[in-house]
Amino acid sequence: MTVSNIVLQSAIFILYFSLMLLVVLFSYRRQQSDTDFILGNRSLNFWLTALSAQASDMSSWLFLGYPALVFGGGVFATWAAIGLIIGMFLNWHFVAPRLRAITGQFGSLTLSDYFEKRFQDPSGGLRIIAGLMSVVFFTIYISSGLVAMGILVESLLGLSYYLGITLGLFIVVGYVFVGGYRTVAWIDLFQGFFLLGVVIFIPTYLLIKIGGLAPVLEAVGRQNLTTTLFPAIGGWALWKILMIAAGWGLGYFGQPHILTKFMGIRDPSEMGKAKYLGMSWLVLALGAATLIGLLGIFLFPQGLEDTQQVVLSIVKTTMAPVFAALVLCAILAATTNVMAAHILIVASNLSEDFYKKMFRRTPSVKKLLRVSRISVLLTAIVGMTIAYFKPSTIYHLVLYAWSGLGASFGPLVLLSLYMKNLNRYAAFAGILVGGVTSALWPYLNHLYHWEIAPIIPGFVLSVVAIYGTTLLTRRSHCKIS
Protein backbone atom coordinates (compact mmCIF):
# COMPACT_ATOMS: atom_id res chain seq x y z
CA MET A 1 0.00 0.00 0.00
CA THR A 2 1.35 3.42 -0.96
CA VAL A 3 2.01 6.17 1.56
CA SER A 4 -0.63 8.39 -0.08
CA ASN A 5 -3.28 5.69 0.32
CA ILE A 6 -2.39 5.20 3.96
CA VAL A 7 -2.61 8.96 4.58
CA LEU A 8 -5.98 9.15 2.78
CA GLN A 9 -7.45 6.23 4.72
CA SER A 10 -6.11 7.58 8.00
CA ALA A 11 -7.66 11.00 7.29
CA ILE A 12 -11.10 9.46 6.62
CA PHE A 13 -10.74 7.35 9.75
CA ILE A 14 -9.91 10.41 11.88
CA LEU A 15 -12.82 12.39 10.40
CA TYR A 16 -15.29 9.59 11.08
CA PHE A 17 -14.36 9.14 14.70
CA SER A 18 -14.24 12.89 15.26
CA LEU A 19 -17.98 12.81 14.53
CA MET A 20 -18.33 10.09 17.17
CA LEU A 21 -16.49 12.33 19.63
CA LEU A 22 -19.05 15.08 19.09
CA VAL A 23 -21.83 12.66 20.05
CA VAL A 24 -19.92 11.71 23.19
CA LEU A 25 -19.39 15.29 24.28
CA PHE A 26 -23.05 16.12 23.62
CA SER A 27 -24.32 13.32 25.85
CA TYR A 28 -21.75 13.77 28.63
CA ARG A 29 -23.70 16.61 30.23
CA ARG A 30 -26.77 14.38 30.53
CA GLN A 31 -25.09 11.75 32.72
CA GLN A 32 -26.39 12.62 36.18
CA SER A 33 -26.55 9.21 37.88
CA ASP A 34 -25.68 5.55 37.59
CA THR A 35 -29.18 4.97 36.14
CA ASP A 36 -28.40 7.44 33.36
CA PHE A 37 -25.00 5.89 32.78
CA ILE A 38 -26.13 2.24 32.76
CA LEU A 39 -29.66 2.36 31.27
CA GLY A 40 -30.16 5.86 29.87
CA ASN A 41 -32.92 6.48 32.43
CA ARG A 42 -35.21 4.33 30.26
CA SER A 43 -35.72 7.20 27.84
CA LEU A 44 -34.93 5.74 24.39
CA ASN A 45 -37.35 5.84 21.47
CA PHE A 46 -38.04 2.80 19.29
CA TRP A 47 -35.50 3.86 16.63
CA LEU A 48 -32.70 3.95 19.18
CA THR A 49 -33.86 0.74 20.82
CA ALA A 50 -34.07 -1.22 17.56
CA LEU A 51 -30.82 -0.06 15.97
CA SER A 52 -28.93 -0.17 19.24
CA ALA A 53 -30.06 -3.75 19.92
CA GLN A 54 -29.03 -4.93 16.46
CA ALA A 55 -25.88 -2.89 15.98
CA SER A 56 -24.57 -3.88 19.40
CA ASP A 57 -25.22 -7.50 18.39
CA MET A 58 -23.43 -7.59 15.02
CA SER A 59 -19.78 -6.97 15.80
CA SER A 60 -16.69 -7.66 13.68
CA TRP A 61 -18.29 -11.11 13.42
CA LEU A 62 -20.56 -9.64 10.71
CA PHE A 63 -17.61 -8.51 8.57
CA LEU A 64 -14.84 -10.92 9.55
CA GLY A 65 -16.13 -14.02 11.35
CA TYR A 66 -19.33 -14.86 9.47
CA PRO A 67 -18.06 -14.22 5.89
CA ALA A 68 -15.11 -16.47 6.75
CA LEU A 69 -17.58 -19.19 7.76
CA VAL A 70 -19.42 -18.88 4.42
CA PHE A 71 -16.11 -18.70 2.53
CA GLY A 72 -15.11 -22.05 3.99
CA GLY A 73 -18.50 -23.81 3.93
CA GLY A 74 -20.56 -22.40 1.06
CA VAL A 75 -24.29 -21.79 1.11
CA PHE A 76 -24.94 -24.41 3.81
CA ALA A 77 -23.15 -22.18 6.34
CA THR A 78 -26.02 -19.71 5.92
CA TRP A 79 -27.95 -21.76 8.48
CA ALA A 80 -26.01 -19.84 11.13
CA ALA A 81 -27.62 -16.61 9.90
CA ILE A 82 -31.04 -18.24 9.62
CA GLY A 83 -30.74 -19.43 13.21
CA LEU A 84 -29.85 -15.92 14.33
CA ILE A 85 -32.80 -14.39 12.48
CA ILE A 86 -35.27 -16.87 13.98
CA GLY A 87 -33.77 -16.52 17.46
CA MET A 88 -33.82 -12.72 17.40
CA PHE A 89 -37.42 -12.59 16.17
CA LEU A 90 -38.52 -14.85 19.02
CA ASN A 91 -36.50 -12.69 21.41
CA TRP A 92 -38.23 -9.49 20.24
CA HIS A 93 -41.64 -11.15 20.32
CA PHE A 94 -41.64 -13.18 23.53
CA VAL A 95 -38.96 -11.63 25.75
CA ALA A 96 -38.69 -7.91 25.01
CA PRO A 97 -42.19 -6.67 26.04
CA ARG A 98 -42.40 -8.69 29.26
CA LEU A 99 -38.82 -7.99 30.30
CA ARG A 100 -39.28 -4.23 29.84
CA ALA A 101 -42.50 -4.25 31.88
CA ILE A 102 -41.20 -6.36 34.77
CA THR A 103 -37.77 -4.72 35.08
CA GLY A 104 -39.52 -1.35 35.03
CA GLN A 105 -41.71 -2.42 37.96
CA PHE A 106 -38.69 -3.69 39.88
CA GLY A 107 -36.49 -0.72 38.98
CA SER A 108 -33.78 -3.14 37.83
CA LEU A 109 -30.77 -1.84 35.89
CA THR A 110 -29.10 -5.20 35.22
CA LEU A 111 -30.17 -8.79 34.67
CA SER A 112 -28.53 -9.72 37.95
CA ASP A 113 -30.63 -7.17 39.82
CA TYR A 114 -33.74 -8.43 38.02
CA PHE A 115 -33.04 -12.01 39.06
CA GLU A 116 -32.46 -10.99 42.67
CA LYS A 117 -35.74 -9.09 42.89
CA ARG A 118 -37.74 -11.54 40.81
CA PHE A 119 -36.74 -14.45 43.05
CA GLN A 120 -36.56 -12.43 46.28
CA ASP A 121 -33.05 -13.50 47.18
CA PRO A 122 -31.95 -11.68 50.37
CA SER A 123 -28.57 -13.44 50.46
CA GLY A 124 -27.19 -11.71 47.37
CA GLY A 125 -25.80 -15.02 46.13
CA LEU A 126 -27.94 -15.10 43.00
CA ARG A 127 -26.91 -11.60 42.03
CA ILE A 128 -23.25 -12.43 42.54
CA ILE A 129 -23.23 -15.68 40.52
CA ALA A 130 -25.09 -13.95 37.67
CA GLY A 131 -22.67 -11.04 37.74
CA LEU A 132 -19.69 -13.39 37.81
CA MET A 133 -20.86 -15.34 34.74
CA SER A 134 -21.52 -12.09 32.94
CA VAL A 135 -18.06 -10.68 33.71
CA VAL A 136 -16.23 -13.87 32.67
CA PHE A 137 -17.92 -14.37 29.31
CA PHE A 138 -18.10 -10.69 28.42
CA THR A 139 -14.38 -10.33 29.00
CA ILE A 140 -13.83 -13.04 26.37
CA TYR A 141 -16.29 -11.21 24.10
CA ILE A 142 -14.40 -7.92 24.52
CA SER A 143 -11.10 -9.62 23.67
CA SER A 144 -12.61 -10.88 20.39
CA GLY A 145 -13.36 -7.28 19.42
CA LEU A 146 -9.84 -6.21 20.22
CA VAL A 147 -8.41 -9.09 18.16
CA ALA A 148 -10.54 -7.83 15.25
CA MET A 149 -9.17 -4.32 15.75
CA GLY A 150 -5.63 -5.61 15.60
CA ILE A 151 -6.24 -7.66 12.45
CA LEU A 152 -8.02 -4.77 10.76
CA VAL A 153 -5.37 -2.13 11.38
CA GLU A 154 -2.60 -4.56 10.49
CA SER A 155 -4.23 -5.59 7.18
CA LEU A 156 -5.57 -2.27 5.86
CA LEU A 157 -3.10 0.25 7.28
CA GLY A 158 0.00 -1.94 7.51
CA LEU A 159 0.49 -1.05 11.16
CA SER A 160 1.20 -3.30 14.13
CA TYR A 161 -1.46 -5.69 15.44
CA TYR A 162 -0.73 -4.48 18.96
CA LEU A 163 -1.10 -0.85 17.90
CA GLY A 164 -4.53 -1.77 16.50
CA ILE A 165 -5.56 -3.26 19.85
CA THR A 166 -4.42 -0.13 21.69
CA LEU A 167 -6.18 2.18 19.23
CA GLY A 168 -9.44 0.26 19.49
CA LEU A 169 -9.29 0.26 23.27
CA PHE A 170 -8.68 4.01 23.36
CA ILE A 171 -11.68 4.77 21.11
CA VAL A 172 -14.18 2.53 22.87
CA VAL A 173 -13.18 3.29 26.43
CA GLY A 174 -13.19 7.00 25.61
CA TYR A 175 -16.81 7.27 24.61
CA VAL A 176 -18.15 4.67 27.06
CA PHE A 177 -16.22 6.21 29.96
CA VAL A 178 -17.57 9.68 29.22
CA GLY A 179 -21.01 9.02 27.77
CA GLY A 180 -22.45 5.76 29.05
CA TYR A 181 -25.62 4.01 27.84
CA ARG A 182 -27.29 6.89 26.01
CA THR A 183 -24.10 7.72 24.11
CA VAL A 184 -23.67 4.10 23.07
CA ALA A 185 -27.29 4.02 21.87
CA TRP A 186 -26.95 7.17 19.73
CA ILE A 187 -23.68 5.97 18.25
CA ASP A 188 -25.30 2.60 17.56
CA LEU A 189 -28.07 4.38 15.64
CA PHE A 190 -25.65 6.35 13.49
CA GLN A 191 -23.21 3.51 12.93
CA GLY A 192 -25.99 0.99 12.42
CA PHE A 193 -27.17 2.82 9.31
CA PHE A 194 -23.62 3.42 8.15
CA LEU A 195 -22.36 -0.15 8.40
CA LEU A 196 -25.60 -1.48 6.87
CA GLY A 197 -25.00 0.75 3.86
CA VAL A 198 -21.42 -0.45 3.51
CA VAL A 199 -22.16 -4.16 3.91
CA ILE A 200 -24.94 -3.92 1.30
CA PHE A 201 -22.89 -1.85 -1.15
CA ILE A 202 -19.98 -4.32 -1.38
CA PRO A 203 -21.92 -7.33 -2.79
CA THR A 204 -24.28 -5.11 -4.83
CA TYR A 205 -21.38 -3.40 -6.59
CA LEU A 206 -19.50 -6.64 -7.25
CA LEU A 207 -22.53 -8.65 -8.42
CA ILE A 208 -23.34 -5.95 -10.97
CA LYS A 209 -19.72 -5.93 -12.09
CA ILE A 210 -19.42 -9.70 -12.59
CA GLY A 211 -22.89 -10.27 -14.06
CA GLY A 212 -25.03 -11.60 -11.22
CA LEU A 213 -25.08 -14.51 -8.80
CA ALA A 214 -24.79 -17.37 -11.34
CA PRO A 215 -20.99 -17.09 -11.84
CA VAL A 216 -20.54 -16.98 -8.08
CA LEU A 217 -22.51 -20.20 -7.49
CA GLU A 218 -20.61 -21.89 -10.31
CA ALA A 219 -17.35 -20.97 -8.58
CA VAL A 220 -18.70 -22.31 -5.29
CA GLY A 221 -19.54 -25.62 -6.97
CA ARG A 222 -16.07 -25.88 -8.53
CA GLN A 223 -14.60 -25.68 -5.02
CA ASN A 224 -16.79 -28.64 -3.97
CA LEU A 225 -18.68 -26.43 -1.54
CA THR A 226 -22.44 -26.45 -1.02
CA THR A 227 -24.58 -24.34 -3.37
CA THR A 228 -27.93 -24.93 -1.63
CA LEU A 229 -29.32 -24.89 1.89
CA PHE A 230 -30.22 -28.59 1.58
CA PRO A 231 -27.29 -30.37 -0.09
CA ALA A 232 -28.62 -33.72 1.13
CA ILE A 233 -31.83 -35.13 2.56
CA GLY A 234 -31.59 -37.33 5.62
CA GLY A 235 -31.21 -37.52 9.33
CA TRP A 236 -27.56 -36.46 9.40
CA ALA A 237 -28.19 -33.37 7.24
CA LEU A 238 -31.12 -32.31 9.41
CA TRP A 239 -29.03 -32.87 12.53
CA LYS A 240 -26.28 -30.58 11.20
CA ILE A 241 -28.84 -27.93 10.27
CA LEU A 242 -30.28 -28.05 13.78
CA MET A 243 -26.84 -27.85 15.38
CA ILE A 244 -25.80 -24.83 13.32
CA ALA A 245 -29.09 -22.91 13.59
CA ALA A 246 -29.78 -23.66 17.25
CA GLY A 247 -26.11 -23.20 18.14
CA TRP A 248 -26.48 -19.52 17.31
CA GLY A 249 -30.22 -18.79 17.57
CA LEU A 250 -30.66 -20.00 21.16
CA GLY A 251 -28.05 -17.54 22.36
CA TYR A 252 -30.23 -14.47 21.90
CA PHE A 253 -32.40 -15.20 24.94
CA GLY A 254 -29.47 -14.72 27.31
CA GLN A 255 -27.40 -11.84 25.89
CA PRO A 256 -27.42 -9.04 28.50
CA HIS A 257 -26.12 -6.41 26.05
CA ILE A 258 -29.21 -7.02 23.88
CA LEU A 259 -31.70 -7.56 26.70
CA THR A 260 -30.73 -4.28 28.37
CA LYS A 261 -31.65 -2.49 25.14
CA PHE A 262 -35.17 -3.84 25.58
CA MET A 263 -35.13 -2.60 29.17
CA GLY A 264 -34.17 0.94 28.12
CA ILE A 265 -37.08 1.77 25.76
CA ARG A 266 -39.19 4.71 26.91
CA ASP A 267 -42.61 3.50 25.75
CA PRO A 268 -43.21 -0.29 25.93
CA SER A 269 -46.10 0.06 23.46
CA GLU A 270 -43.54 0.91 20.76
CA MET A 271 -41.76 -2.42 21.15
CA GLY A 272 -43.58 -3.77 18.08
CA LYS A 273 -42.21 -0.97 15.89
CA ALA A 274 -38.73 -1.60 17.27
CA LYS A 275 -39.08 -5.31 16.50
CA TYR A 276 -39.85 -4.89 12.82
CA LEU A 277 -37.25 -2.17 12.35
CA GLY A 278 -34.58 -4.24 14.08
CA MET A 279 -35.46 -7.43 12.22
CA SER A 280 -35.35 -5.64 8.86
CA TRP A 281 -31.85 -4.41 9.67
CA LEU A 282 -30.73 -7.88 10.74
CA VAL A 283 -32.04 -9.69 7.63
CA LEU A 284 -30.43 -7.17 5.28
CA ALA A 285 -27.09 -7.19 7.10
CA LEU A 286 -26.79 -10.98 7.33
CA GLY A 287 -27.97 -11.44 3.74
CA ALA A 288 -25.32 -9.04 2.46
CA ALA A 289 -22.59 -10.64 4.62
CA THR A 290 -23.54 -14.04 3.18
CA LEU A 291 -23.07 -12.72 -0.36
CA ILE A 292 -19.68 -11.29 0.60
CA GLY A 293 -18.51 -14.71 1.78
CA LEU A 294 -19.69 -16.33 -1.48
CA LEU A 295 -18.05 -13.60 -3.56
CA GLY A 296 -14.81 -14.34 -1.75
CA ILE A 297 -14.96 -17.92 -3.10
CA PHE A 298 -15.39 -16.52 -6.64
CA LEU A 299 -12.58 -13.96 -6.34
CA PHE A 300 -10.04 -16.13 -4.49
CA PRO A 301 -10.37 -19.70 -5.83
CA GLN A 302 -6.87 -20.44 -4.58
CA GLY A 303 -8.00 -19.70 -1.03
CA LEU A 304 -6.67 -17.27 1.56
CA GLU A 305 -4.04 -17.70 4.22
CA ASP A 306 -6.37 -16.10 6.78
CA THR A 307 -10.03 -16.57 5.86
CA GLN A 308 -11.03 -13.95 8.45
CA GLN A 309 -9.66 -11.36 6.03
CA VAL A 310 -11.93 -12.25 3.10
CA VAL A 311 -13.77 -8.90 3.26
CA LEU A 312 -10.52 -6.97 3.59
CA SER A 313 -9.00 -8.89 0.67
CA ILE A 314 -12.06 -8.17 -1.50
CA VAL A 315 -11.93 -4.47 -0.73
CA LYS A 316 -8.18 -4.15 -1.29
CA THR A 317 -8.25 -5.93 -4.66
CA THR A 318 -11.49 -4.58 -6.20
CA MET A 319 -12.20 -1.13 -4.77
CA ALA A 320 -10.65 2.31 -4.55
CA PRO A 321 -8.65 3.37 -1.47
CA VAL A 322 -11.38 5.83 -0.45
CA PHE A 323 -13.94 3.06 -0.20
CA ALA A 324 -11.41 0.82 1.55
CA ALA A 325 -11.20 3.55 4.19
CA LEU A 326 -14.99 3.60 4.53
CA VAL A 327 -15.00 -0.18 4.96
CA LEU A 328 -12.34 0.23 7.64
CA CYS A 329 -14.62 2.70 9.42
CA ALA A 330 -17.63 0.39 9.03
CA ILE A 331 -15.85 -2.62 10.49
CA LEU A 332 -14.43 -0.51 13.27
CA ALA A 333 -17.96 0.83 13.85
CA ALA A 334 -19.37 -2.70 14.10
CA THR A 335 -16.58 -3.73 16.44
CA THR A 336 -16.67 -0.67 18.68
CA ASN A 337 -20.47 -0.85 18.92
CA VAL A 338 -20.36 -4.29 20.46
CA MET A 339 -17.29 -3.70 22.58
CA ALA A 340 -18.89 -0.58 24.03
CA ALA A 341 -22.08 -2.45 24.89
CA HIS A 342 -20.08 -5.29 26.45
CA ILE A 343 -17.85 -3.02 28.51
CA LEU A 344 -20.90 -1.11 29.72
CA ILE A 345 -22.57 -4.35 30.86
CA VAL A 346 -19.48 -5.51 32.74
CA ALA A 347 -19.12 -2.07 34.33
CA SER A 348 -22.73 -2.27 35.49
CA ASN A 349 -22.10 -5.74 36.92
CA LEU A 350 -19.04 -4.59 38.82
CA SER A 351 -20.73 -1.47 40.20
CA GLU A 352 -24.30 -2.68 40.73
CA ASP A 353 -23.77 -6.36 41.51
CA PHE A 354 -20.48 -6.35 43.41
CA TYR A 355 -19.62 -2.86 44.66
CA LYS A 356 -23.07 -2.15 46.11
CA LYS A 357 -22.93 -5.43 48.02
CA MET A 358 -19.80 -4.24 49.81
CA PHE A 359 -21.84 -1.59 51.64
CA ARG A 360 -24.69 -1.99 54.07
CA ARG A 361 -25.95 1.43 53.04
CA THR A 362 -26.31 2.36 49.40
CA PRO A 363 -23.35 4.48 48.21
CA SER A 364 -23.98 7.99 46.92
CA VAL A 365 -25.08 8.51 43.33
CA LYS A 366 -21.85 10.28 42.41
CA LYS A 367 -19.75 7.53 43.91
CA LEU A 368 -21.63 4.83 41.98
CA LEU A 369 -21.15 6.80 38.76
CA ARG A 370 -17.44 7.05 39.51
CA VAL A 371 -17.22 3.31 40.24
CA SER A 372 -19.02 2.55 36.96
CA ARG A 373 -16.41 4.51 35.04
CA ILE A 374 -13.49 2.92 36.90
CA SER A 375 -15.03 -0.48 36.10
CA VAL A 376 -14.93 0.44 32.40
CA LEU A 377 -11.16 0.93 32.63
CA LEU A 378 -10.54 -2.31 34.54
CA THR A 379 -12.64 -4.36 32.11
CA ALA A 380 -10.87 -2.91 29.10
CA ILE A 381 -7.43 -3.67 30.52
CA VAL A 382 -8.29 -7.32 31.18
CA GLY A 383 -9.77 -7.71 27.69
CA MET A 384 -6.66 -6.16 26.16
CA THR A 385 -4.44 -8.59 28.07
CA ILE A 386 -6.32 -11.58 26.62
CA ALA A 387 -6.30 -10.12 23.09
CA TYR A 388 -2.56 -9.50 23.31
CA PHE A 389 -1.96 -13.27 23.14
CA LYS A 390 -4.43 -13.72 20.22
CA PRO A 391 -5.76 -17.00 21.71
CA SER A 392 -8.18 -17.99 18.91
CA THR A 393 -10.06 -16.86 15.82
CA ILE A 394 -12.71 -14.17 16.07
CA TYR A 395 -15.39 -16.71 15.15
CA HIS A 396 -14.49 -19.13 17.93
CA LEU A 397 -14.00 -16.42 20.56
CA VAL A 398 -17.44 -14.99 19.77
CA LEU A 399 -19.05 -18.45 19.70
CA TYR A 400 -17.55 -19.30 23.10
CA ALA A 401 -18.73 -16.07 24.75
CA TRP A 402 -22.12 -16.10 22.98
CA SER A 403 -22.75 -19.68 24.07
CA GLY A 404 -21.69 -19.03 27.65
CA LEU A 405 -23.98 -16.05 28.10
CA GLY A 406 -26.88 -17.71 26.27
CA ALA A 407 -26.67 -20.88 28.35
CA SER A 408 -26.16 -19.03 31.65
CA PHE A 409 -29.10 -16.65 31.33
CA GLY A 410 -31.33 -17.65 28.41
CA PRO A 411 -33.30 -20.49 30.05
CA LEU A 412 -33.81 -18.53 33.27
CA VAL A 413 -34.92 -15.36 31.45
CA LEU A 414 -37.50 -17.29 29.44
CA LEU A 415 -38.84 -19.35 32.33
CA SER A 416 -38.86 -16.43 34.78
CA LEU A 417 -41.08 -14.42 32.43
CA TYR A 418 -43.63 -17.19 31.89
CA MET A 419 -43.60 -19.34 35.06
CA LYS A 420 -44.72 -18.33 38.55
CA ASN A 421 -43.46 -21.14 40.76
CA LEU A 422 -39.71 -20.85 40.26
CA ASN A 423 -37.56 -20.03 43.26
CA ARG A 424 -34.09 -18.68 43.94
CA TYR A 425 -32.56 -22.15 44.33
CA ALA A 426 -33.74 -23.10 40.86
CA ALA A 427 -32.45 -19.81 39.46
CA PHE A 428 -29.05 -20.32 41.03
CA ALA A 429 -28.83 -23.89 39.69
CA GLY A 430 -29.87 -22.82 36.19
CA ILE A 431 -27.23 -20.11 35.88
CA LEU A 432 -24.46 -22.24 37.35
CA VAL A 433 -25.19 -25.42 35.37
CA GLY A 434 -25.74 -23.57 32.10
CA GLY A 435 -22.62 -21.44 32.38
CA VAL A 436 -20.27 -24.18 33.56
CA THR A 437 -21.54 -26.68 30.97
CA SER A 438 -21.07 -24.21 28.13
CA ALA A 439 -17.63 -23.20 29.38
CA LEU A 440 -16.36 -26.80 29.59
CA TRP A 441 -18.14 -28.25 26.55
CA PRO A 442 -15.60 -27.15 23.88
CA TYR A 443 -12.95 -29.28 25.57
CA LEU A 444 -15.24 -32.33 25.44
CA ASN A 445 -16.09 -31.50 21.83
CA HIS A 446 -12.41 -31.60 20.89
CA LEU A 447 -11.94 -34.84 22.80
CA TYR A 448 -14.88 -36.78 21.37
CA HIS A 449 -15.53 -34.87 18.08
CA TRP A 450 -19.25 -34.44 18.78
CA GLU A 451 -19.49 -31.19 16.78
CA ILE A 452 -22.24 -29.81 19.01
CA ALA A 453 -22.29 -26.09 19.77
CA PRO A 454 -21.66 -25.40 23.50
CA ILE A 455 -24.93 -23.55 24.01
CA ILE A 456 -27.08 -26.58 23.14
CA PRO A 457 -26.04 -28.87 26.02
CA GLY A 458 -25.66 -25.82 28.27
CA PHE A 459 -29.17 -24.58 27.48
CA VAL A 460 -30.78 -28.02 27.84
CA LEU A 461 -29.05 -28.87 31.11
CA SER A 462 -29.88 -25.42 32.50
CA VAL A 463 -33.59 -26.01 31.83
CA VAL A 464 -33.34 -29.43 33.46
CA ALA A 465 -31.57 -27.92 36.48
CA ILE A 466 -34.22 -25.22 36.88
CA TYR A 467 -37.13 -27.65 36.64
CA GLY A 468 -35.42 -30.30 38.77
CA THR A 469 -34.48 -27.91 41.54
CA THR A 470 -37.98 -26.43 41.55
CA LEU A 471 -39.49 -29.87 42.02
CA LEU A 472 -37.00 -30.81 44.73
CA THR A 473 -37.45 -27.68 46.78
CA ARG A 474 -41.20 -27.35 46.10
CA ARG A 475 -41.18 -23.77 47.26
CA SER A 476 -42.42 -20.66 45.47
CA HIS A 477 -40.85 -17.38 46.42
CA CYS A 478 -42.43 -14.90 44.06
CA LYS A 479 -45.26 -14.13 41.72
CA ILE A 480 -45.59 -12.04 38.62
CA SER A 481 -48.55 -9.75 38.63
Task: Give residue-wise pLDDT tens across range 469-478.
Answer: 999 987 544 4
Instruction: Pick the more confident residue, 443 or 202.
Output: 202
Rg of the chain over CA atoms, in angstroms?
22
Rounded Cα distance between 54 and 277, Å, is 10
Least Cα distance to 199 among 273, 276, 310, 90 occurs for: 310
Give the model's confidence band at 93: pLDDT under 50 very low, under 70 low, under 90 confident, else very high: very high
Helix residue ranges, H only, 119-226: 125-156, 161-179, 181-210, 214-222
Least Cα distance to 421 among 350, 355, 478 occurs for: 478
Domains, the chain: 3-473 (1.20.1730.10)
| Beta-bridge mates of residue 74 | 226
Please report the pLDDT score of residue 312 as a whole number.
85
Please report the pLDDT score of residue 33 as a whole number.
46
Give the model's confidence band at 283: pLDDT under 50 very low, under 70 low, under 90 confident, else very high: very high
CA angle, residues 359, 364, 365, in degrees to nearest 5 = 125
Least Cα distance to 412 among 135, 140, 118 occurs for: 118
Give the model's confidence band at 357: pLDDT under 50 very low, under 70 low, under 90 confident, else very high: low
Give the model's confidence band at 102: pLDDT under 50 very low, under 70 low, under 90 confident, else very high: very high
Instruction: Pick the more confident residue, 205 or 151.
Output: 205
Q: What is the pLDDT of residues 196-206, one digit of tens each?
A: 888 899 999 99
Residue 39 pLDDT > 60, yes or no? no
